[in-house]
Amino acid sequence: MRLANKVAIITGGSRGIGRATADLFAEEGAIVYVLDISLDDQFESDKIHFIAHDVTDEAAWKNVVEQIVSEAGTIDILFNNAGIVGSYEGIETIEMDDWHRILDINLNGVFLGTRTVLPVMRAAGKGAIVHTSSMWGVVGAIGVAAYTASKGAVRSLSKNVALTYAKDGIRSNSIHPGIIETPLVLAQDKSMTQEIVDKTPIGRLGTAREIAYGALYLASDESSYVTGTELIIDGGHTAL
Ligand SMILES: NC(=O)c1ccc[n+]([C@@H]2O[C@H](COP(=O)([O-])OP(=O)(O)OC[C@H]3O[C@@H](n4cnc5c(N)ncnc54)[C@H](O)[C@@H]3O)[C@@H](O)[C@H]2O)c1
């Protein structure tokens, strides 16, 4: 039990990477709160609680954090994972509405979650925050302007949190998945996905569970000397 009795928030945990992480955290003994705008399939584990929540809603963040602290006593882990691709357009062609929506969910959602949970962690003198960025937050990609901008910003914000709150016992790290088999990727153009897989040395899509194991390490006390770092899980894509 690598997360025995730890209380964890996972945003975007209804499906994909977040769901695999919720299942793994619960298997490892955590009490998990999944915050997501929707839930298609119920969770099997009674250690996973679902709260309908939009990560862009600052007032809702305050209510949700209060609810979790009153029910579970504290928050040990925050996994800022909710995110969308939203638009594949580049700088000149992306609609402003899309630009704002993508930055709002992928970056402002991470900022708001972190900002709301930090006082709880500071009071406890401990906490682990993990953010889902992307390999496109480390290296460049053509097109997908808002997505790459948001994921690069999450990488930087994670380091800001790490440096600012190290003395409070709070760690912050980012995960950078490559191309992972989730509803997000299954919904996109298959030739685009294949093109990325072809450039991936391991030669296949990653699984959500393979990302969840990274989140487990960074959320657990096993990574107690790890903060401000980037865990790239991309089948070797960015090593090329
Ligand atoms: N799948 C990949 O290849 C890949 C690669 C790199 C990074 N990522 C990142 O991993 C994270 C998870 O992606 P995934 O592939 O599991 O996607 P997914 O679409 O399968 O799941 C994302 C979840 O986030 C939720 N969500 C969306 N907007 C939300 C909001 N405003 N508030 C709360 N929840 C919201 C969705 O309802 C969904 O359950 C994202 O941040 C994504 O950018 C994914």
**Tens of each residue's pLDDT in the chain, 240 residues:** 999 999 999 999 999 999 999 999 999 999 999 999 999 999 999 999 999 999 999 999 999 999 999 999 999 999 999 999 999 999 999 999 999 999 999 999 999 999 999 999 999 999 999 999 999 999 999 999 999 999 999 999 999 999 999 999 999 999 999 999 999 999 999 999 999 999 999 999 999 999 999 999 999 999 999 999 999 999 999 998
Give the contacts of 149 (CB within 8 A, at least 6 positions apart).
103
Closest of 182, 168, 181, 186 to residue 227, by C-alpha? 168
Closest residue CA from atom 36 of ligand 1: 12
Instruction: Please count the other Cβ atoms lying within 10 Å of the Cβ belonging to residue 208.
Output: 22
pLDDT of residue 212: 99
CB atoms within 10 A of CB 4: 10
Question: Position 114: which residue type?
Answer: T
Q: Quote the pLDDT of residue 188.
A: 94
- Nearest 5 degrees, angle CA 42-CA 46-CA 51? 60
- Tell me which amino acid residue 120 is: V
Task: Say which of 33, 147, 213, 225 is annotated catalytic.
Answer: 147
Q: Are 224 and 198 in contact (CB under 8 A)?
A: no
CATH number reported for the structural domain that contains residue 78 in this entry: 3.40.50.720
Please give the pLDDT value at position 185. Answer: 97
Q: What was the pLDDT predicted at 138?
A: 97
Q: Whose CA is nearest to atom 14 of ligand 1?
A: 16
DSSP string covering 127-146: EEEEEE--GGGTS--SS-HH
Q: Could you give the number of structural domains in the chain? A: 1
Any ligand 1 atom below 6 A from CB of 81: yes
On whether residue 108 sits in a domain, the answer given is: yes
**Residue 86 domain-assigned?**
yes
Whether residue 146 lies inside any domain: the answer is yes
Quote the ligand 1 centre to 49 CA distance (angstroms): 18
**Beta strand pairing status for 170-177 and 48-52?**
unpaired
Strands (E), the chain: 7-11, 31-36, 48-52, 77-80, 127-132, 170-177, 180-181, 206-207, 230-233
Q: Is residue 41 part of a domain?
A: yes
Specify the 3-state DSSP secondary structure of 89.
Answer: coil
Cβ of residue 38 lying under 6 Å from some atom of ligand 1: yes
Question: pLDDT value at position 121?
Answer: 99
Model pLDDT, residue 113 = 99
In degrees, rounded to 5, the angle at the alpha carbon of residue 33 between the alpha carbons of residues 220 and 225 is 15
User: Is 186 domain-assigned?
Assistant: no
- For residue 204, how many other CB atoms are within 10 A of its CB? 10
Domain assignment present for residue 197? The answer is no
Cβ atoms of 171 and 215 within 8 Å: the answer is: no
Domain of 78?
7-181+207-231
Ligand 1 and 235: CB distance under 6 A: no
Residues in the chain: 240
Give the pLDDT score at 93. 98
Compute, in degrees rounded to 10, the torsion defined by CA atoms 120, 62, 174, 126: 0
